[in-house]
Amino acid sequence: MVNRLVTLFSLQIVDDELDELEELRGDLPLRVNGLNAKIKEIQDQIDEKENSRTESLEKRKENEEEIERLTSNLKKFKAQLYKVRNNKEYDALTKEIDHSESEIERLTSENEEFELKGEKLKNEIAELTPGVDENSIVLEENQVELKKIIKENVIQETILREKREKIAEQVKKPDYNVYMKIRKALKGKAIVTINRSACSGCHNIVPSQRQIELRQNRRLFTCESCGRILVSAEVAIEAEKSLGK
């Protein structure tokens, strides 16, 4: 049982060291992810507005071509008015002329709206674009700083991760699952010792009888207050020795 407890505490020691390396990075990973998300959000807005502007320009072009066609037909219809032979032909031509003029007016008005919309979108894109550039500069600075920290600690981190893997293989699966569950719930610290009759994790007093049982190292005990696994000072010392501390 002692070896079981020593192995578990050894795992905690290595995880503590890995956590310290993680803390050196501070909030840089979060800042990098946040900046990436912000840049993507702005770029998505720009892309959406660019697509909308492109659609407006294409529609304007289609309308201009249609206006050109209708204007050409209108000239022909007006020229044919002088050649009509009866009221029926005159009425038919007049109807075509009215329709053409109405469509030209409608398309011209529509194009004016498209032009205003395109100008508005152009201005909105111009306002958003600096946001991408500014955030990209900050992102690059943060990425450089993060890469520098990672590079400085990569050898130590690699050694620790290899060591952790070997220790984790020796831990019984049920123990490991409990350890990881507590570690996740309590921000990394899953196993602690007793310091001055109190749990060193939550600082609540551990009953005297429990302290006696803990020193016997016969089974796993958890703190009644915080739920962390408690081990004796002897187990902690042996774990540090096994790691060459």
pLDDT (tens digit, 9 = 90+) per residue, 69-117? 999 999 999 999 888 888 898 899 999 999 999 999 999 999 999 999 9
Bridge-based pairing state of the strands 191-195 and 229-231: parallel
Q: How much is the pLDDT for 81?
A: 87
Task: Examine the domain organization and report whether 73 and 30 are in the same domain.
Answer: yes
Residue 206: the pLDDT is: 92
Torsion of CA 245, 194, 234, 244, to 10 degrees: -10
Task: Give CB contacts under 8 A, 24+ apart, made by 110-115.
Answer: 110/59, 110/63, 111/60, 111/63, 111/64, 111/67, 114/56, 114/57, 114/59, 114/60, 114/63, 115/60
Instruction: Give the pairing of strands 198-199 and 191-195.
Output: antiparallel
**Whether residues 144 and 210 fall in one domain:** no
Q: In this structure, is residue 20 part of a structural domain?
A: no
193 and 238 co-located in one domain: yes
Domain shared by 209 and 92, yes or no = no
Domain match, 149 and 180 both: no
Q: What residues of the chain score a pLDDT lower than 50?
A: none
Q: Are 35 and 119 found together in one domain?
A: yes
64 contacts: CB under 8 Å, gap ≥ 6: 111
- In whole angstroms, give the CA distance from residue 203 to residue 78: 99
- Provide the residue range defining the domain that includes 80: 26-153
**Residues 43 and 145 grouped into a single domain:** yes
Q: 0.75 exceeded by the pTM?
A: no
Q: What per-residue confidence (pLDDT) applies to 119? A: 94
